[in-house]
Amino acid sequence: MRILIARWMVTVAAAAALVCGSAAAQAPRAGQAAAGAAPTKPIPRTAEGKPDLTGTWQAGGVSITGEAGAPPLHPLPPTKYRAPRREPIPYQEWAAAQEKTFTVLDDPTSQCLLPGVPRIVGMPMPLEIVQTPKEVVILYESFRAYRRIPINDKLEHPDDLTPTWMGDSVGRWEGDTFVVDVTGFNDKTWLSGLGSIHTEKLHVVEHYQLNDDDTLSYTATVEDPGALTKPWVTGSVLRRPIDVRVEEYECIENNPDNEHIRKAMEKEKK
């Protein structure tokens, strides 16, 4: 049942994107607290002294491009921190033109293919960070995906990467911020909303910062000289859902959504 609800929500989110377009939220940058903040507490640390990002997290409230309609799957505690200000994706002309030609059925995720980075972070399902000294593993309920992020102080990627859906990630600590560099993408995912294509030149730099109210600020700087005119910044404030663990999600099992969407679209045309 829960899996059906989740898929329905993703469909609603995509449909809302069709109708509403992307809204730019007016908000302070990540890390700024609103006035009248709650008392702070020290952030948990590992034995190596690094902030401990381990646990189950959920992005929520608004989707990663400020679209309404991607509510989180579970209730979340409030936070004083805000996601970075969201701007429309700064597309080159050819990409902006192509973006308009897609429907929800072209979304790779409606074929149960992977959402890529940073889109997977903003999905309305929880993720779990498993932190070890040598690598950080992130388990996503969304599409049962996982990412391995080996820790490498030079942020070196292997030579000659095979283009992949989730890219090749490598991370390091910069002070108390975990910085992840992701390259080696194929060109098949969407960055966020409808038709948000990119090329294989995509390069994403993520920042994970544990806040003093036990939330996790996430920022992704997205560069693609093949499709964008300048870097694009997006992000969210991840919070710990209560009594929740990442659960199973088998997208291709009993997936009737595409048929329903096709029929709804045909009805709309009439």
HSE-up of residue 50 (Cα within 13 Å, Cβ side): 19
- Binding of residue 214 to other proteins (CB under 8 A): no
Considering the rule CB under 8 A, would residue 148 count as an interface residue with other proteins?
A: yes
Q: Estimate to the nearest angstrom the gap between the alpha carbon of 28 and the chain centroid.
A: 19
User: CA-CA distance, 190 to 108, in Å (whole number)?
Assistant: 8
With CA atoms as reference, report the closest residue to 110 among 227, 268, 251.
251
Nearer CB in complex with other proteins: 32/111: 111
- Looking at the Cβ atoms of 156 and 174, the one nearer to other proteins is 156
**Using an 8 Å Cβ cutoff, are 181 and 157 in contact?**
yes
Number of separate helices (H) and strands (E) present in the chain: 3, 9
Of the candidates 50, 144, 172, 240, which one interacts with other proteins according to CB under 8 A?
144
Of positions 30, 180, 220, 246, contacts other proteins by CB under 8 A: 246
Q: Toward other proteins, which CB reaches closer, 210 or 246?
A: 246
Class of residue 89 by CB neighbours under 10 A (exposed 0-12, middle 13-18, buried 19+): buried
At residue 270, what is the residue type? K
The residue (of 131 and 219) whose beta carbon lies closer to other proteins is 131
- Length of the chain equals 270
- In the complex, the smallest distance separating the C-beta of residue 28 from other proteins, rounded to whole angstroms, is 34
Shorter beta-carbon distance to other proteins: residue 19 or 47: 47
Binding string to other proteins for residues 100 to 119, with x set by CB under 8 A, is what?
-----------xxxx-----
Site for other proteins contains 153 (CB under 8 A): no
Total chain residues near other proteins (CB under 8 A): 29
The amino acid at 108: P
Task: Write out the two tokens for 67.
Answer: 């679209």
Could you give the C-alpha distances from 175 to 35, 172, 208, 210, 238, in angstroms and in order?
26, 9, 11, 12, 20
> With respect to other proteins, which residue has the nearer C-beta, 156 or 247?
247
Residues 154-183 that bind other proteins (CB under 8 A): 162, 164-166
Per CB under 8 A, 2 contacts other proteins: yes
- Residues near other proteins, by CB under 8 A: 2, 47, 54, 111-114, 128, 130-132, 135, 137, 139, 144-146, 148, 162, 164-166, 245-248, 250, 252-253
